[in-house]
Amino acid sequence: MEEKIAYLKGLNEAQLAPVLHKDGPLMVIAGAGSGKTRVLTYRIAHLMAQGVDSFNILALTFTNKAAREMKKRIADIVGSSEAKNLWMGTFHSVFAKLLRFDGDKLGYPSNFTIYDTQDSQRLIASIIKEMGLDKDIYKYKQIQNRISSYKNSLITVKAYFQNPELVEADAMAKRPRLGEIYQNYVDRCFKAGAMDFDDLLLRTNELLTRFPEVLMKYQDRFRYILVDEYQDTNHSQYLIVKALSDRYQNICVVGDDAQSIYSFRGANISNILNFQKDYDDVGMYRLEQNYRSTKNIVNAANSIISNNKNQLEKVVWTSNDEGNKIKIHRSITDAEEGRYVAASIFENKMQHQMGNGEFAVLYRTNSQSRAIEDALRKSDIPYRIYGGLSFYQRKEIKDVLAYLRLVINPKDEEALKRIINFPARGIGQTTVDKLVVAANHYGRSIFEVIENLPKLNLKINSGTTRRLEDFVTMIKSFQIMNEGADAFTLAEHVAKKTGLLLEFKKDGTPEGIGKMENIEELLNGIQDFVEGQKELADTTGSLTEFLEDVALASDLDKDTGDDDRVALMTIHLAKGLEFPYVYIVGMEEDLFPSAMSMNTRSELEEERRLFYVALTRAEKQAYLTYTQNRYRWGKLIDAEPSRFLEEIEEQYVENLTPVNDGYRYKSLIDADIFGEVDKSRLRQVKPQNGTPPSVKGPNESQLRKLRKLKPEISRPSANTNVIDANLVEGALVNHTRFGKGKVLKIEGVGNDKKAEIQFDRGDIKKLLLRFAKLEVL
Ligand code: ATP
Ligand code: MG
């Protein structure tokens, strides 16, 4: 064994082996919490410490957030700024970057737009309409799904038409023209200079296959490739990794077959199983010690997964404390389930002095979040929902982004259609339809058609023609501005000049104001991005980069970590994460396991793996809750406890059988804990015989403490700052991202008030006070 270099002390012997493994392929297969991600991180650090150039390393992670955290960790370990040069991120973001360099070989502009799922769906819907097809048979969401799965299996339009089975299957499903829709969709995306999410992988594959010199270039560049969560790679991703690593074979993958949960999106567990066949002399490593969770949680998780027939043999143990048993709670309705979760979080916070960020509530489907949210809101517990409708999917945000997208890529059809008449400027749908037809006819973009209106006889009246020309002139003026200004300045100008901000302001309703605030938050985000990117070596903080970041941002990525909230998310999204306290709600048949996943053993086993993932997120304490009645599809239905509850060995669980169902927790929530306490009510929530201590209400001294804590746990919802009166020249401040500094100068007034700050780490920045996350010290 090599002598341990200081940083390698943070690894156990089993982890050390794959970190020190010399060149060649290696795979680490191990259970949850055993340090797979840690091994990957340390291996990269170690490679760099041994002199491997950071430019030669590519790491693929499940979220961009995970990549950022890894980079930070690596920089800590090797103590250098070299970590900035690492190519690290999700498959989509890494290969979007690669396509910006080399996509031109496939005929794409380097400033191609990335269509998100909504853009794809809108385009497909409009194609279906243009083709005059019945939208009840050709459902655009289903079609989008289908096209997506073709792309992920590398079935191009040509391959589709050459495969009689596929063509027949669609004909049988009464959708004989699906192939044509696929063809039109691909053509339209291409013409718009746009790639959808699946294209980012499909086109990368195409590029690497058709252009050997490009493949060579990247094989040579990425001499070391590392992949986290390998069990969830799909065929398209698998082929990219295989191609890139073919020359040097320095490929390190880590994963856990027991956590493969994306087969519905085409992930293929056989990628793990075949790894040893795909490469020669594979170093195989196993890790067994879990560092994350208590004995109870680890053992319970083991007992669940042992019910799966299809799995690799694995041992997981921990030397951590025994911990509390897993608590199972039954309630009468989903609303009460929500109240229980809120009350329990509240109580754990008080008993153990925990922050909100130490709690996560996980569910099988997004729609379950509502009842939980209601209860948390009523209890004044701040939370953040991940997934669902993300910030960037909101209408007003997409409107601003559409303008910005058009500035970068005027061919972007979906962006143009979205805002050509928003805010209203008298360009009607009939006109837009004429433009679309002409664009299709001439094989040009809509923007180009408008630019050439005088030459084309489209029978558009002179008033509308003028308005269309004004629109084009406006976008062109933004383009000119974009050459000099940074992304923030431009975006702010666009939001004002287009009348978007005014549109929502004038609306005057709370919704309108909320939208305006969201736009301000977006601008804030852009400024933050510009500032942040300037620190990085390989980026400039340009608008293109910002838009790419946004298009590929999952909600997890938006988490700036600057506020302390309970995390609400689906189990799928929670993969790889960890929290001290985890609540898994909706443990009911037909919900979890999902009704849609009980047709075959393999579907059921995937649900069970999902449960395994959920439970293994917990460090200290896990709660499983279910309800006897639940609103689903607008109806109150009887719910049965999930079979998974019974699969956990009894010794690891504790049943909290509520005494006064639907009553006790309600009283706790209803008590106005910040105002006058109604003591008679508190007496009602006093523990009764057989009631475990974890459900009793707050006592007097706890209440006092809580009152003091109020500012901390009230909801910080304002998007713009109230500017601190102490923020004057000479003041010492702390910025959530840039750290401590001193105010050199204050300038501007009102909303434009800015501070010039000399930060301790060396640089001087000018920040807009209404957005800057500053605290006066
Ligand atoms: P998952 O399967 O959920 O992705 P994982 O195998 O990737 O889990 P990690 O997230 O790398 O596991 O590690 C789990 C936790 O244990 C982390 O908090 C990590 O920092 C910690 N940990 C791992 N190995 C060690 C170690 N040798 N010493 C101390 N802490 C460790
Ligand atoms: Mg991990």
Active-site residues: which are they? 36-37, 228-229, 259, 617
Ligand 1: atom nearest CA of 576 is 4
Which residue owns the Cα nearest ligand 1 atom 13? 35
Centroid of ligand 2 to alpha carbon of 493 (angstroms)? 42
The ligand that comes nearest to the alpha carbon of residue 36 is 1
Judge if the upstream peptide bond of residue 423 is cis by omega within 30 degrees of 0. Answer: yes
Q: Closest by alpha carbon to 624, among 432, 363, 382?
A: 363
Which residue owns the Cα nearest ligand 1 atom 19? 35
Whether the predicted pLDDT of 670 surpasses 50: no
Q: Closest by alpha carbon to 30, among 45, 19, 17, 15?
A: 15
This prediction has a pTM of 0.77
Whether the predicted pLDDT of 136 surpasses 80: yes
Which residue owns the Cα nearest ligand 1 atom 8? 33
How far the first Cα of the chain sits from its last, in Å, is 50
DSSP string, 135-164: TTTS-HHHHHHHHHHHHHTT--HHHHHT-H
Ligand 1: atom nearest CA of 616 is 3
Q: Closest by alpha carbon to 117, among 98, 95, 92, 97?
A: 92
* DSSP code of residue 621: E
Burial of 426 (0-12, 13-18, 19+ CB in 10 A): exposed
CA distance 448 to 274: 49
Q: Closest by alpha carbon to 514, among 718, 725, 220?
A: 718
Buried b / exposed e over 639-668, threshold 16 CB at 10 Å, is bebbbbbeebeeebbbebebeebeebbbbb
Whether the predicted pLDDT of 200 surpasses 70: yes
pLDDT of 561: 53
Burial of 55 (0-12, 13-18, 19+ CB in 10 A): middle
pLDDT of 104: 96
The ligand that comes nearest to the alpha carbon of residue 288 is 1
Res. 738 pLDDT band, cuts 50 70 90: confident
Binding residues for ATP: 30-37
| Of the listed ranges 485-494, 512-521, 680-689, 736-745, the one predicted with least confidence | 680-689
Instruction: Characterize the bridge pairing of strands 739-747 and 754-759.
Output: antiparallel
| Of the listed ranges 193-207, 395-409, 571-585, 675-689, the one predicted with least confidence | 675-689
pLDDT digits (tens, 9 = 90+) for 420-439: 999 999 999 999 999 999 99
Q: Tokens 């736009």 belong to which residue?
A: 519
Tokens of 426: 């008298």
| Mean pLDDT, residues 661-675 | 35
Which residue owns the Cα nearest ligand 1 atom 11? 35
What sign has the CA pseudo-torsion 296, 300, 303, 308? Answer: negative
Contact 182, 157 (CB under 8 A): yes
Average pLDDT across the chain, whole number: 85
The ligand that comes nearest to the alpha carbon of residue 13 is 1
CA distance 127 to 123: 6
| Residue type, position 54, single letter | S
Centroid of ligand 2 to alpha carbon of 557 (angstroms)? 16
Question: Ligand 1 pocket check: which of 29, 36, 38 to mutate, most ligand atoms within 8 Å of Cβ?
Answer: 38
pLDDT digits (tens, 9 = 90+) for 741-764: 999 988 877 656 778 888 887 777
The rounded radius of gyration (Å) of the Cα atoms in the chain is 28
CA distance 19 to 3: 13
* DSSP code of residue 420: T
| Mean pLDDT, residues 698-718 | 38
Centroid of ligand 2 to alpha carbon of 489 (angstroms)? 39
| Of the listed ranges 208-212, 531-535, 597-601, 772-776, the one predicted with least confidence | 531-535
pLDDT digits (tens, 9 = 90+) for 39-76: 999 999 999 999 999 999 999 998 887 888 899 999 98
pLDDT digits (tens, 9 = 90+) for 438-472: 999 999 999 999 999 989 988 899 999 999 999 99
Res. 415 pLDDT band, cuts 50 70 90: very high
The CA dihedral of 345, 348, 354, 359, to the nearest 10 degrees, is -40
pLDDT of 266: 75
For 263, half-sphere exposure in the C-beta direction (CA atoms, 13 angstrom radius) is: 17
Judge if the upstream peptide bond of residue 711 is cis by omega within 30 degrees of 0. Answer: no
Ligand 1: atom nearest CA of 34 is 6
Contact 99, 203 (CB under 8 A): yes
Binding residues: 30-37
DSSP three-state, residue 414: helix
pLDDT of 122: 92
Which residue owns the Cα nearest ligand 1 atom 30? 291
Centroid of ligand 1 to alpha carbon of 291 (angstroms)? 6
Whether the predicted pLDDT of 168 surpasses 70: yes
Centroid of ligand 1 to alpha carbon of 633 (angstroms)? 40
Contact 621, 656 (CB under 8 A): no
Res. 13 pLDDT band, cuts 50 70 90: very high
Pocket, ligand 1, Cβ cutoff 6 A: 10-12, 15, 30, 32-38, 256, 259, 291-292, 576, 578, 616
Q: Which residue has the higher pLDDT, 635 or 96?
A: 96
Res. 557 pLDDT band, cuts 50 70 90: low
Q: Closest by alpha carbon to 775, among 737, 734, 738, 726?
A: 734
DSSP three-state, residue 573: helix
Centroid of ligand 2 to alpha carbon of 308 (angstroms)? 21
For 187, half-sphere exposure in the C-beta direction (CA atoms, 13 angstrom radius) is: 13
* DSSP code of residue 409: -
Centroid of ligand 1 to alpha carbon of 289 (angstroms)? 9
Question: Ligand 1 pocket check: which of 291, 305, 316 to mutate, most ligand atoms within 8 Å of Cβ?
Answer: 291
DSSP three-state, residue 744: strand
DSSP string, 79-127: TSGGGGG-EEE-HHHHHHHHHHHHGGGGT--TT-EEE-HHHHHHHHHHH
Which residues touch 465 (CB under 8 Å, ≥6 apart)? 453
pLDDT digits (tens, 9 = 90+) for 256-268: 999 999 887 777 7
CA distance 499 to 504: 9
DSSP three-state, residue 19: helix
Which residues touch 420 (CB under 8 Å, ≥6 apart)? 427, 432, 471
DSSP three-state, residue 623: strand
Res. 663 pLDDT band, cuts 50 70 90: very low
The Cβ of residue 466 has, within 10 Å, a number of other Cβ atoms equal to: 12
For 685, half-sphere exposure in the C-beta direction (CA atoms, 13 angstrom radius) is: 25
pLDDT digits (tens, 9 = 90+) for 327-385: 999 999 888 999 999 999 999 999 998 999 999 999 998 888 888 988 999 899 999 88
pLDDT of 494: 94
288 Rama sector, left if φ>0, alpha if ψ -120 to 50, beta otherwise: alpha
Q: Closest by alpha carbon to 397, among 522, 524, 553, 527?
A: 522
Ligand 1: atom nearest CA of 39 is 11
Contacts 24+ apart (CB under 8 A), 173-182: 174/137, 175/137, 175/138, 175/143, 177/131, 177/133, 177/138, 178/138, 178/143, 178/146, 180/131, 181/124, 181/127, 181/128, 181/131, 181/133, 181/138, 181/143, 181/147, 182/147, 182/150, 182/157
Q: Which residue has the higher pLDDT, 104 or 632?
A: 104
Q: Closest by alpha carbon to 138, among 168, 161, 170?
A: 170
CA distance 218 to 121: 33
| Mean pLDDT, residues 551-576 | 77
The ligand that comes nearest to the alpha carbon of residue 616 is 1
Which residue owns the Cα nearest ligand 1 atom 14? 33
pLDDT of 716: 29
Whether the predicted pLDDT of 683 surpasses 70: no
Tokens of 155: 């079935």
Which residues touch 223 (CB under 8 Å, ≥6 apart)? 52, 56, 57, 248, 250
* DSSP code of residue 5: P
| Mean pLDDT, residues 134-155 | 93
